[in-house]
Amino acid sequence: MKMLIAMSLALAAAPAVAQTALPPAPWADRQIPDADQERAAKALMETIRCLTCQSQSIADSNASMAADMRSQIRERIMAGEKPEAIRAWLVSRYGDWVSYAPTADPILWPLWAAPLILLALGLFLMRGRIGRRRP
């Protein structure tokens, strides 16, 4: 049992070992003084995917690379860059993969059309039922 506990503790400690000892980047966990800029930065960070913890956004992740990305995004917003320009810059490096914001690419058209198709199918099925009940 003791061995089991020690082993599970060792597992929990592994991610910390794999990261750096440097302090976090200056703007990683510090808000921009201007509330509008901070809101824009936060909204962008929530839709940028972390490269280390791949099912988290960089706003949620504790990975050091996510912290560096947060700091870089805040610095670029403070320098006056538009959030969508920063997103496009990241997508040009990592592909659509890095962004959680859905696009209107042709490959996604079936996905966007799915609600309409399903609604049409439902109406078509209902039409038969309603028709039958009428006297």
Cβ closest to another protein, residue 40 vs residue 74:
74
The stretch among 3-11, 35-43, 64-72, 107-115 that binds another protein (CB under 8 A) is 64-72
57, with CB counted inside 10 A (0-12, 13-18, 19+), is middle
Q: Which of 40, 69, 74, 77 binds another protein (CB under 8 A)?
A: 69
Q: Which of 92, 129, 130, 132 binds another protein (CB under 8 A)?
A: 92
Contact call for residue 37 and another protein (CB under 8 A): no
Distances (CA, A) of 49 to 3, 69, 97, 111, 133: 36, 10, 8, 21, 52
59 contact partners, CB below 8 Å, separation of at least 6: 42, 45, 46, 48, 70
Q: How far is the CB of 1 from another protein (least distance, A)?
A: 29
Contact call for residue 56 and another protein (CB under 8 A): no
SS3 99: strand
Binding residues (CB under 8 A) for another protein: these are: 17-22, 25, 51-52, 54, 64-65, 68-69, 71-72, 90-95, 97-98
